[in-house]
């Protein structure tokens, strides 16, 4: 199972919340914790890591709080995961070519290392293709239909589509 850490997941949740209110005001760690229903201590820990990675900017004081350091379209899920977990590695040897991965005793004769590198690159590319701007939108399957949408559905005849059109 490939699993993003809980803290990286929380980083995406918190950054998405900051993106939603971008430009309105800075949010305190406590208000972010309340809005996301995450423990305040965890929120503070994640925000500290995001600030260190220059993804968020924190300001102290009565009018302080956190805000994104860049527009939501310029921050990717890959940036957030890397800020918390470091570079994505699916296996010990799937990093960049030329890196020393001496922890694996099978490396000298492994026939799959190059393939794991390609897979790692594909996953990294996929995470880098999704921005906070994308994360702010509601997926079609979660959108609440309006009465207008329901009327359109009733008047529309079902159509068959090829599998390639649905995917």
The full set of domains in the chain, from first to last, is 6-141 (1.10.10.10)
Long-range contacts, 40-48 (Cβ 8 Å, 24+): 42/7, 42/10, 43/10, 43/14, 45/7, 46/7, 46/10, 46/11, 46/14, 46/84, 47/14
Q: State residue 68's pLDDT score.
A: 96
pLDDT tier for residue 108 given thresholds of 50, 70 and 90: confident
Lowest mean pLDDT among 20-29, 88-97, 137-146: 137-146
Average pLDDT over residues 88-106: 65
Residue pLDDT, tens place only, 110-127: 877 778 888 888 999 999
Q: How would you class 1 by CB atoms within 10 Å of its CB: exposed for 0-12, middle for 13-18, buried for 19 or more?
A: exposed
- HEC string of the chain equals CCCCCHHHHHHHHHHHHHHHCCCCCCECHHHHHHHHCCCHHHHHHHHHHHHHCCCEEEECCCCCEEEECCCHHHCEHHHHHHHHHCCCCCCCCCCCCCCCCCCCCCHHHCCCHHHHHHHHHHHHHHHHCCEHHHHHCCCHHHCCCCHHHHHHHHHCCCCCCCHHHHC
Report the percent of the chain where pLDDT is more than 90.
50
Residue 9 has pLDDT above 70, yes or no: yes
Residue 147 has pLDDT above 70, yes or no: no
Q: State residue 53's pLDDT score.
A: 97
Residue 92 has pLDDT above 90, yes or no: no
């Amino acid at each position: 199972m490939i699993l993003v850490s809980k803290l990286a997941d929380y980083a995406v949740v918190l950054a998405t919340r900051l993106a939603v209110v971008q430009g309105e005001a800075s949010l305190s760690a406590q208000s972010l914790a309340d809005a996301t229903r995450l423990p305040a201590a965890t929120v503070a820990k994640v925000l500290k890591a995001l600030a260190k990675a220059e993804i968020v900017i924190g300001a102290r004081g009565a009018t302080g709080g956190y805000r994104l350091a860049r527009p939501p379209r310029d921050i990717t899920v890959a940036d957030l995961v890397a800020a918390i977990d470091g570079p994505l590695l699916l296996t010990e040897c799937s990093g960049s070519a030329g890196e020393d991965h001496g922890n694996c005793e099978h490396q000298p004769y492994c026939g799959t290392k190059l393939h794991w590198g390609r897979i790692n690159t594909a996953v990294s590319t996929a995470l880098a293709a999704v921005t906070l701007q994308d994360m702010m939108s509601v997926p079609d399957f979660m959108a609440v239909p309006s009465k207008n949408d329901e009327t359109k559905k009733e008047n529309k005849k079902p159509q068959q589509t090829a599998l390639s059109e649905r995917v």
